[in-house]
Structure 1
Amino acid sequence: MSETELHDAARDRARRDQLASHADAARGLVEQRERELAEMQQKLRIETADVRRLERFSPAQVWGLLRGDIDDKLSVERAEQSAAEHAVDGATQRLDYARADLARIEGEIAALGDVDTAYAAALGDREQLLRDAGTDAAAELTRLDAEAGELAAQVREISEATAALHEAQAALAAAQSALDSAGGWSTYDTFFGGGMVADWMKHDRIGASTRAFTVVNRALESLATELADIDAPPVQGVRISESLAVFDVLFDNVFSDWAVRERIAQARAAASDLGLRLDGLDAYLAERETAVAVRTADLITRREQLILER
């Protein structure tokens, strides 16, 4: 590919980026104009309804006739209706202009074609020339490509860890909700003499909580596996095995009302603490993902510089 073709491909891509920015602004203006028109139309509907109410024979019209001011009120309402109609016309025209401008910009973008593919092809041809020549730049390109591959693998692993984390957070939220219900019935049964029904409901909710925390435990096990794949250290004291031990034994051998209430309080505290630690892990994974994205962008920039400066 010639120097001219590479130049043209870079020019077209820069123009596309500029037009894309203009299109975003134009799209925002269209949305604003649409909201303005909707407001004007709503006002027109209200004014029209006021006019029709005065035009129809109604108690309001009778009262107006008795007072002798029906014609004046109707004239005012018709004037307000007319003003609202003009406002709708103006808003419609402004919206049409905004849509036309957006369509023009989008048409220019479409006319440029697939500029990214054209630019990538131009760089690819230029890169091949460098590799064929066996220059120092070719060796550095190989090194950059290897690092980019490693970063791509990290992105995948971090994404999988984040997905496992979010599943654990969702499971914990569901378990906490079940635990709150159990806590409510336990308090009622302990302090207000809930009786047999309350006692049955309490233990039913404890059973539901236990099952819900079993789901949490399994989600935490999956999360631990994913964290190991990215060599993630315990963040903010997240120790998965200890959390499992707490929730596996928390509701075992519970008999008295006071013991039940105390175990539920322990579970709530443990769940709340785990939630905070998982939030910290979420922030840590987001930071790692951002760092990988920044490094990847740096590699792409350096790669282009190597190709273009030769």
Structure 2
Amino acid sequence: MTADERREVREAVLAGRRALESLEEASEALDSASNWGLFDLLAGGLITSLVKHARLGDAREALERARADLYAFTREVDDVRTIESLCVDVGGIATALDVIADNPFVDLYVQKKIDDAQDGVEAAIGATRTVLARLEALR
């Protein structure tokens, strides 16, 4: 392996580690939002809904960083293809209804959106780890 190839592999590994860190941060934020969502379903109220949506905001920010880091990673390695699906978008109307009306049907809808986002993040974590392992084997 030439010095340039080693440098490219090293850059890809660093980008992959940043992406993995961002994805894990997003996963933690989604876990927190999910826990608050479950609590909101069972015994929540206005405060619970507000906290849940604050955690969803944290998750959105973490997912934006993860998406940017994954784009950087894929520029280095063209193996990860699921970047566009990384988002959590409950929607403004559902958010307002969830906080104001605190309806169990809206709570279930929001919980489903959180669960879908968690699935996407876990898939991206798995794919990133796989590619990182291959790159690290090259070093």
CA distance in 2, matches of 1:287, 1:199: 46
Q: 1:187 — aligned with what?
A: 38
- Normalized against structure 2, the TM-score is what? 0.85
SS of aligned partner of 1:247: coil
Q: 2:123 — aligned with what?
A: 273
CA distance in 2, matches of 1:196, 1:252: 17
CA distance in 2, matches of 1:247, 1:253: 15
CA distance in 2, matches of 1:205, 1:188: 13
Q: 2:91 — aligned with what?
A: 253
**Contact kept? 2:90, 2:113, Cα under 8 Å:** no
Q: Please say if 1:171 is aligned against 2:22.
A: yes
| Structure with the higher fraction of residues in helix conformation | 1
The letter of the residue matching 1:280 is T
The letter of the residue matching 2:15 is A
Q: Please say if 1:152 is aligned against 2:12.
A: no
Superposed CA RMSD: 1.5
Task: For residue 285 of structure 1, report the CA deviation from its aligned partner.
Answer: 0.3
Larger Rg: 1
**Contact kept? 2:90, 2:110, Cα under 8 Å:** no
**Contact kept? 2:23, 2:63, Cα under 8 Å:** yes
How high is the sequence identity, in percent, across the aligned residues? 26
Q: Which has the higher contact order (CA 8 A, sep 6+)?
A: 2
Q: 2:61 aligns with which of 207, 211, 226?
A: 211
CA distance in 2, matches of 1:170, 1:161: 14
TM-superposition CA deviations, 1:146-202 (whole Å, max 9, x none): xxxx7110000000000000000111111111111101110010122x110001001
CA distance in 1, matches of 2:31, 2:7: 36
**Contact kept? 2:40, 2:49, Cα under 8 Å:** yes
CA distance in 2, matches of 1:180, 1:166: 21
Task: For residue 252 of structure 1, report the CA deviation from its aligned partner.
Answer: 4.3
CA distance in 2, matches of 1:153, 1:286: 16
CA distance in 1, matches of 2:117, 2:14: 25
TM-superposition CA deviations, 1:101-148 (whole Å, max 9, x none): xxxxxxxxxxxxxxxxxxxxxxxxxxxxxxxxxxxxxxxxxxxxxxxx
- Normalized against structure 1, the TM-score is what? 0.39
Where in structure 1 do 4 or more consecutive aligned residues deviate above 2 Å?
A: none
- Pairing of 1:98-137 with structure 2 (within 5 A): none
Gapped regions of structure 2 (runs ≥ 5):
95-105
